[in-house]
Amino acid sequence: MNTHTFTIRSLYDGFRKKEFSAKEITEFFFRRIEEKDKEIGAYLSLTKNHAFDVAKRADELFQKNTNIPLLAGIPLALKDNMLFEGTKTTAGSKILEHYISSYDATVIRKLKDQCAVLLGKTNLDEFAMGSSTENSAFHVTRNPHDLSRVPGGSSGGSAAAVAGGLAVASLGSDTGGSIRQPASLCGVVGLKPTYGMVSRYGLIALASSLDQIGPFAKTVEDVAMVYDAIKGHDEHDATSIPDEQPETHHYDSDYAKQLVVGIPKEYFIDGIEKEVQKGVNEAIEKFKRLGVRFKEISLPHTKFALSCYYIILPAEVSANLARFDGIRYGNISNLKSQISNLKELYEKSKGMGFGPETKRRVLLGTFVLSAGYYDAYYGKAQKVRQLINNDFTKVFDDTEDGVDVILAPTSPTRAFKIGERASDPLSMYLSDIFTIPANFAGIPALSVPVKQYVVGSGELPVGFQLIGKKMHEKDILALGMYYEKN
Ligand code: GLN
């Protein structure tokens, strides 16, 4: 058995045919984690008791052989910013090092309802701020394709777990690219759903108007299966969309073939790494051979997305992270002797509990929201965000010249070396130049590897992105499946 070759589909069939049990598969994955995760560092904590309890229940379901959910017995990993009742959730921050979740995030409850085996919590940049997972307060995560390189971020642990064969699929969160960019750098598939399609209840908020939870897996089909399991309306999340979407994991090549794909000229700019350009062109050529039609389109406000993001995101961060004040969250027991008033308590607990990137963004956010600067920065950025959204509406809604899906590179470069960008925030921020616009517009986007990258082959993965209309996950998943199955 090889953990790298398992997919949800193959495990499901194997369980049904009694080729192996969920308990055996769970043991097998924990053994693999013990051997391999020392070098990869994908996990922050393991939830073995839960995993074996559920595996037992899954095996009972397969014994009875009735009404078996698709994810029963499937070993999954979770980014450590989602609450899992009774277990540690750190968000990659020292300030939450000892925090035990008091309830289940909706996505976790849904996975538990399916009898999915949750193996553990994966590493991330602190509070999901970063593009390399180097901002974790605990340790770095290495890219399974080249251990001297980053897995991307901020959901680097979840991407590396799937690429390294340490989980069959996983969940991450994407605020400006944190699912798609690490998926691209690790050679796996990652989906950022439409804003509001997956409940954010129980996700530690970064920027509430942009955050979305979504899956990683080795195939588009597996990603669609996990997406089907976690999506849907949730009354605990006021931004959750009420409408039900159809199931997305059924392969339909006729549907995929008739979709028209737009190539935005603003996404194919100088400065993209040569290999990325080449990989994305290969993908386009393959789609053309498969009969897919392409059109050149323009999204003229793309160039403002990054600067706009680094105003809106810090503004929301400074509000969301205010709750980590050392009183309700944080460990002040060892600070007590140094604190004489409330202000000092805040200063000391935040000063010790937050890392440099988090501090940088909280300060920036407080500044852009402060009286006198609000209109010049935050107010203006909101207007520009609207222009970026209008670009998408225009190309998607145009009845004559419109397109169904947009294809673009996911990241301007392949995986970079650990440490290479750590001291240069700007070059790190540039990693998200192609992913941020979809978060602004709240539309779904899928990163697909140009081809199957085998760990150990020495090749660094390249991914491309399929961006869809609001609530049209079906389109990008259908095209992604058409690509991977042909
Ligand atoms: N890398 C981006 C940032 O640092 C995106 C983060 C995310 O999507 N969570 O903000």
| Tens digit of each residue's pLDDT (9 = 90 or more) over 314-353 | 999 999 999 998 888 877 777 778 888 989 988 888 999 9
Answer whether residue 1 shows pLDDT above 90.
no
Distance from residue 132's CA to the centre of ligand 1 (Å): 10
Q: Distance (Å, rounded) from C-alpha 5 to C-alpha 10?
A: 9
Is pLDDT of 473 > 90? yes
- 3-state SS of 278-340? HHHHHHHHHHHHCCCEEEEECCHHHHHHHHHHHHHHHHHHHHHHHHCCCCCCCCCHHHHHHCC
244 band by pLDDT with thresholds 50, 70 and 90: confident
Average pLDDT over residues 281-288: 98
Helices (H), 164-304: 180-186, 220-230, 253-257, 274-289
61-70, 124-133, 412-421, range with the lowest pLDDT: 61-70
Of 178, 184, 240, 431, catalytic: 178
Q: What is the pLDDT of residue 11?
A: 97
Q: Which of 163, 173, 25, 111 is nearest to 456 (CA)?
A: 163
Q: pLDDT band for position 139 (50/70/90)?
A: very high
Q: What is the mean pLDDT of residues 10-16?
A: 95
Atom of ligand 1 nearest to the CA of 313: 10
Choose one of 79, 129, 150 to mutate for the ligand 1 pocket test, by most ligand atoms within 8 angstroms of C-beta: 129
Q: What's residue 476's pLDDT?
A: 98
pTM of the predicted protein model: 0.97
**pLDDT tops 90 at residue 24:** yes
Q: Quote the CA–CA distance of 313 and 240 in Å, as a whole number.
A: 20
Cβ contacts of 237-242, under 8 Å, gap ≥ 24: 237/106, 237/196, 237/199, 237/200, 237/201, 239/195, 239/196, 239/200, 239/208, 240/196, 240/199, 240/200, 241/194, 241/196, 241/197, 241/471
Exposed, middle or buried by CB within 10 Å (0-12, 13-18, 19+), for 255?
Answer: middle
Q: How does pLDDT run across 160-179, given as a tens digit for each residue? A: 999 999 999 999 999 999 99
Tell me if residue 333 is catalytic. no
**How buried is 26 (Cβ within 10 angstroms: 0-12 exposed, 13-18 middle, 19+ buried)?**
buried
Average pLDDT in the chain: 95
CA distance 115 to 336: 44
Q: Is 303 a catalytic residue?
A: no
Q: Considering 21, 79, 132, 349, which one is annotated as catalytic?
A: 79
The reply to whether ligand 1 has any atom less than 6 angstroms from the CB of 461 is: no
Give yes or no for residue 155 CB within 6 A of ligand 1: no
Task: Judge whether 187 and 458 are in contact, CB under 8 Å.
Answer: no
Task: Give the model confidence (pLDDT) of 397-428 as tens digits.
Answer: 987 889 999 999 999 999 999 999 988 888 89
Mean pLDDT to the nearest integer, 371-399: 94
The tokens describing 94, both together, are 């020292």
* pLDDT at position 108: 98
Candidate of 154, 313, 435 to mutate for ligand 1, largest count of ligand atoms within 8 Å of Cβ: 154
Average pLDDT of the residues in 434-438: 98
Question: Tokens 């209309």 sit at which residue?
Answer: 469
Q: Whole-angstrom Cα distance, residue 106 to residue 118? A: 14
Distance in Å, CA 435 to ligand 1 centroid: 9
Q: What is the mean pLDDT of residues 256-281?
A: 95
Q: Does the beta carbon of 182 lie inside 6 Å of ligand 1?
A: no
SS3 395: helix
Condensed to tens digits (0 to 9), the pLDDT of residues 184-231 reads: 999 999 999 999 999 999 999 999 999 999 999 999 999 999 999 999
Q: Which residues contact 178 (CB under 8 A, 6 or more apart)?
A: 124, 125, 128, 131, 153, 154, 155, 172
Compute, in angstroms, the gap from residue 177 CA to the centroid of ligand 1.
6
Ligand 1 atom nearest residue 357's Cα: 4
Question: Tell me: the pLDDT tens digits for 70-105?
Answer: 999 999 999 999 999 999 999 999 999 999 999 999
pLDDT score of 5: 85
Q: What is the pLDDT of residue 119?
A: 98
Residue found by looking up tokens 């205010």 in the block: 322
Task: Give residue 269's pLDDT band: very low, low, confident or very high (50, 70, 90).
Answer: confident
Query: Can you list the domains of the chain with their CATH numbers?
Result: 3-255+445-484 (3.90.1300.10)
154, 158, 318, 349: the active-site residue: 154
Q: Looking at the predicted structure, is the pLDDT value of residue 2 above 90?
A: no
pLDDT, position 329 = 81
Check if 240 is active-site: no
Task: Judge contact between 141 and 38, C-beta under 8 A.
Answer: no
- Mean pLDDT calculated for residue range 54-83: 96
pLDDT of residue 84: 98
pLDDT above 70: percentage of residues in the chain: 99
Number of Cα atoms under 13 Å in the Cβ half of residue 111:
33
Pairing assessment for the beta strands 260-264 and 405-409 based on DSSP bridges: parallel
- In ligand 1, the atom with minimum distance to the C-alpha of 155 is 9
- Determine the pLDDT at residue 314: 98
The residue ranges of DSSP E strands in 383-479, in sequence order, are: 405-409, 445-449, 463-468
